[in-house]
């Protein structure tokens, strides 16, 4: 019987880490204080890393720390101490892209497992075997790898070497995420954790007649031209194919995403891996903010597909977080978006998918009825006919279906 793969979730802070763990992740990856590719707002301090590792291990789950930035020569000197720090704080693995960094960190802290980042763009079994010989226990394959290539790499590499692939989230238009566009336009390098995402901008493309010198504008559609904006990856429709190809870990992108996003997406993939209805799980993914979906490169590199339409879309709105069960069907909640009694709320819970109820009563903490909840993070009391637990999420469907 084939072993169920690991479900690996992102976390940009401890709240999102807790959501990932509660909604079914087997492991969580985070950034540390050095050399990680979400440098602006998603780096954990050493103290937060230690707390994150403790929370993961308490539940029998794992914590991986990204060290996947391009490493400059002057930064090599700090890597041995950093590797030992990650080991001592309880990290289960470091995600590394630079060959030199892999060697330096393995020598400094051989007890710390090394996962080779997708930024290393590993596309073949020879490269995967080389990383294994250098001491890596896992290779995160390049996003450009097809399903057939994954099968071949699995067959041609040691069974002890784990293979990881992305299954969901934003994709970079540049090869394996290696891009200089942000550095050129904004002075902010995506390879150093500071990408301004210029591929999401709207551009005006013009063709020039070489004889007359006249410019001719090119339009994609009435909404504009966004030739560089990638769709979001969604592997839910072919998850079984990825697993049968030999993938050990299924990775969700999104360390900059919200708690609601992490909870929704992790919950959908967890339920699918545990045997839930594929159509129901696929519908769940539309509840979180996303661009148009794509199967990425898994079915080949030359599939023609239009760029994503401008903006994001989602079928549900995050209304509140459940804080405490007060008994007798009453619950203390924390408001996250404007709402009022009379709306139908869905419960996002690890126990089930898509159950809803009509919100009939809303009170403040003093027990006084209120007609509307307009204040961010206001603590309120609701009455619900469905059982709720702390950590459950309440959402409103934007296109209610009877």
Q: List, for the chain, all residue ranges whose pLDDT scores fall below the cut of 50.
A: 219, 401-402
Q: How far is CA 147 from CA 1, 150, 159, 281, 330, in A?
A: 21, 5, 18, 22, 49
* 90-143 per-position pLDDT tens digit: 999 999 999 999 999 999 999 999 999 998 999 999 999 999 999 999 999 999
> Could you give the CA distance from residue 308 to residue 295 in angstroms, rounded to a whole number?
13
Q: Which two tokens stand for residue 390?
A: 């702390």
Give the 3-state secondary structure of 375-397: CCCCEEEEECCCCCCCCCEEEEE
Interstrand relation of 293-294 and 232-234 (parallel, antiparallel or unpaired): parallel
End-to-end CA distance of the chain: 40
pLDDT for res 188: 80
Interstrand relation of 316-327 and 330-335 (parallel, antiparallel or unpaired): antiparallel
Q: Which of 296, 301, 302 is nearest to 236 (CA)?
A: 296
Instruction: List CB contacts of 11: < 8 A, sequence separation 6 or more.
Output: 17, 19, 20, 28, 29, 30, 52, 255, 262
Which domains, and CATH codes, for the chain?
6-171+230-294 (3.20.20.70), 180-218 (no CATH), 316-397 (2.40.30.10)
Compute how many other C-beta atoms are within 10 angstroms of the C-beta atom of residue 382. Answer: 25
pLDDT for res 68: 85
CA 255 to chain CA mean position, Å = 6
C-alpha atoms less than 13 angstroms from C-alpha of 72 in its C-beta half-sphere: 5
CA 152 to chain CA mean position, Å = 26
Helix (H, G, I), strand (E, B) or coil at 114: strand
Q: Which two tokens stand for residue 290?
A: 């996303």
Q: Which two tokens stand for residue 29?
A: 């990856």
pLDDT for res 192: 63
pLDDT for res 37: 58
Do residues 63 and 28 lie in contact, with contact meaning Cβ atoms separated by under 8 Å?
yes
Angle subtended by helix axes 14-22 and 46-58, to nearest 10:
10
CB-count exposure of residue 325 (10 Å: 0-12, 13-18, 19+): middle
* 215-263 per-position pLDDT tens digit: 555 545 555 555 566 789 999 999 999 999 999 999 999 988 999 999 9
DSSP 8-state class, residue 123: -
Q: Which of 315, 313, 380 is nearest to 348 (CA)?
A: 315
């Amino acid at each position: 019987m084939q072993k169920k793969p690991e479900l690996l979730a992102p976390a940009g802070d401890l709240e999102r880490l807790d959501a990932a763990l509660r909604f079914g992740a087997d492991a969580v990856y985070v950034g540390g204080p050095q050399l990680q590719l979400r440098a602006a707002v998603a780096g954990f301090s050493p103290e937060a890393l230690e707390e994150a590792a403790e929370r993961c291990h308490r539940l029998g789950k794992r914590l991986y720390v990204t060290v996947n930035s391009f490493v400059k020569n002057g930064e090599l000197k700090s890597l041995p101490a950093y590797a030992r720090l990650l080991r001592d704080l309880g990290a289960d693995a470091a995600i590394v892209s630079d060959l030199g960094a892999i060697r330096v960190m393995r020598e400094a802290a051989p007890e710390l497992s090394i996962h080779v980042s997708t930024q290393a763009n590993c596309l073949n079994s020879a490269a995967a075997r080389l990383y294994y010989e250098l001491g890596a226990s896992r290779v995160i394959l390049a996003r450009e790898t097809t399903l057939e290539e994954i099968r071949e790499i699995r067959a041609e590499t040691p069974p002890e070497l784990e293979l990881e692939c992305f299954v969901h989230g934003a994709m970079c238009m540049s090869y394996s995420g290696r891009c200089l566009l942000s550095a050129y336009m904004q002075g902010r390098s995506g390879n150093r954790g500071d990408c301004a995402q210029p591929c999401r901008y709207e551009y005006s493309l013009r063709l020039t007649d070489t004889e007359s010198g006249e410019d001719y504008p090119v339009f994609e559609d009435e909404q504009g031209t966004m030739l560089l904006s990638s769709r979001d990856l969604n592997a839910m429709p072919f998850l079984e194919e990825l697993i049968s190809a030999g993938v050990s870990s299924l990775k969700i992108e999104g360390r900059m995403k919200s708690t609601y996003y992490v909870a929704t997406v992790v919950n959908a993939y967890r339920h699918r891996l545990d045997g839930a209805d594929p159509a129901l799980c696929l519908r769940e993914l539309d509840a979180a903010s996303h661009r148009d979906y794509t199967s990425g490169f898994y079915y080949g590199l030359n599939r023609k597909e239009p760029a994503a339409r401008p903006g994001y879309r989602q079928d549900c709105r995050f209304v509140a977080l459940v804080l405490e069960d007060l008994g007798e069907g009453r619950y203390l909640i924390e408001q996250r978006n404007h709402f009022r009694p009379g709306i139908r709320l869905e419960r996002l819970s690890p126990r089930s998918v898509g159950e809803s109820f009509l919100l009939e009563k809303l009170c403040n903490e003093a027990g006084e009825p209120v007609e509307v909840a307009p204040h961010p993070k206001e603590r309120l009391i609701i009455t619900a006919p469905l059982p709720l637990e702390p950590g459950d999420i309440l959402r409103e469907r934007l296109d209610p279906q009877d």
